[in-house]
Amino acid sequence: MGNPNILLTRIDNRLIHGQVGVTWVNHLGANLVVVANDKVASDEVQQNLMDMVLPDVIQTRYFTLQKTIDIIHKASPRQKIFLVVKDVQDALTLKEGGVPIDHLNVGNMHYEEGKKQISSTVSVDENDIEAFKKLDELGVELDVRGVPNEKGKNLLELL
């Protein structure tokens, strides 16, 4: 089993949308977007809506977290993977399950009751902060950035 060619892992609670589907995919040169999320893995309507955003030449896969952990190492070297997760807990589950995530782009985590806003697009609660600290301890670089041409900020410095 080889190391999968994961170009970037991004947290975005919207998963695939215009910004991810066009800007990030083009910037990275990805040819496969893998959405790792237990709920979306079984929601064909949501999958079809997300597929409509992407150019036809970009493939998508919608896997549960466990299936992602089980098969990511079987990816072909030709697959240039952009891995998208909904939240930091999903990212931590993947990392602890052996998915080689070295760099995590934190793009969008909506504000909701009980969360504090740390950037214009990222809000966190205590559980999120704890998960980010664990990822940091596991050697994952945490970068807050909406679009590729923005200067990234170290998430830990924003907490």
Q: Would you please indicate which residues are annotated as catalytic (active-site) residues?
A: 17
Q: Which long-range contacts (CB under 8 A, 24 or more apart) does 120-129 make?
A: 120/146, 121/146, 122/155, 122/158, 124/88, 124/159, 127/89, 128/87, 128/88, 128/89, 129/159
DSSP at 117: E
Cβ–Cβ < 8 Å for 83, 9: yes
DSSP of 25-94:
HHHHT-SEEEEE-TTGGG-HHHHHHHHTTS-TTSEEEEE-HHHHHHHGGG--TT--EEEEESSHHHHHHH
